[in-house]
Chains A and B, each alone.
Chain A
Amino acid sequence: MSESFSSLMAPPSTWEEFTEGLWKRNPVFVMVLGMCPTLAVTVSAINSLSMGIATTFVLAASCFLVSVMRKMIPKEVRIATYIVIIATFVTVTDYAIQAISLDLYEALGAYIQLIVANCLVLGRAEAHAARTPPVAATMNAIGMGLGFTLSLVMIGGVREILGAGAFFGIPLFGEHFQPWVVMVLPPGGFFVMAGWLLLFSILRRRAQMKADAQSAEADALKTSGACHGA
Chain B
Amino acid sequence: MARESLAQILLTTILSGNFVLAMFLGMCPFLGVTHSVAVAFPLGLATTFVIIIASLSAYLLNWVLGLAHLEFLRLICYIVVIASAVQLVEMYVKKHYPPLFRALGIYLPLITTNCAVLGVALFQTARDYDFMQSLTFAIGGGVGFTLALTLLASVRERVELADVPEAVQGTVLVLMLAGVLSLAFMGFAGLGG
Contact = CB atoms under 8 A, between A and B. Distances in A.
Interface of A: 32-33, 35-40, 79-80, 83-84, 87-88, 90-91, 94-95, 109-110, 113-114, 116-119, 122, 182, 185-191, 193-194, 197-198, 201-202, 205
A197 B172 contact: yes
B93 interface: no
Contacts of A189: 24, 179
A188 B168 CA distance: 18
A198 B167 contact: yes
A87 B168 CA distance: 37
B142 to A, nearest CB: 16
A91 B72 contact: yes
Given A83-B83, A197-B175, A113 B75 contact: yes
Interface residues of B, number: 41
Interface in B88-138: 109-110, 112-115, 117-119, 122-123, 126
Residue in B110, B113, B126 whose Cβ sees the most chain A Cβ within 10 Å: B113
B167 A205 contact: yes
Given A113-B75, A197-B175, A198-B172, A35 B83 contact: no
B11 to A, nearest CB: 17
A32 B24 CA distance: 14
Given A122-B113, A182-B183, A187-B182, A84 B76 contact: yes
B24 A39 contact: yes
A190 B119 contact: no
Given A117-B113, A117-B115, A187-B186, A94 B75 contact: yes
Given A36-B25, A113-B122, A182-B183, A190 B176 contact: yes
B79 A116 contact: yes
Contact of B76 (A35, A39, A91, A197): A91
Contact of A32 (B22, B31, B119): B31
Nearest to A80: B83
Given A37-B24, A79-B109, A201-B170, 17 more contacts: A35-B24, A36-B24, A36-B28, A38-B27, A110-B119, A113-B122, A114-B122, A117-B115, A186-B182, A187-B180, A187-B182, A187-B186, A188-B179, A189-B179, A198-B167, A201-B167, A205-B167
Contacts of B176: 190-191, 194
Nearest to B113: A117
B43 interface: no
Interface of B: 21-28, 31, 72, 75-76, 79-80, 83, 109-110, 112-115, 117-119, 122-123, 126, 166-168, 170-172, 175-176, 178-180, 182-183, 186
Nearest to A91: B75
* Residue among A84, A94, A117 facing the most chain B CB atoms (10 A cut-off): A117
Given A35-B27, A187-B183, A191-B179, A114 B118 contact: yes
B32 to A, nearest CB: 9
Given A35-B27, A110-B123, A194 B80 contact: no
Nearest to A197: B172
Given A186-B24, A201-B172, A90 B75 contact: yes
A110 B31 contact: no
A190 B178 contact: yes
A151 to B, nearest CB: 13
Contacts of A117: 79, 112-115, 117-119
Nearest to A94: B75
Contact of B80 (A80, A193, A201): A80
Given A116-B118, A198-B172, A186 B21 contact: yes
Nearest to B184: A187
B29 to A, nearest CB: 10
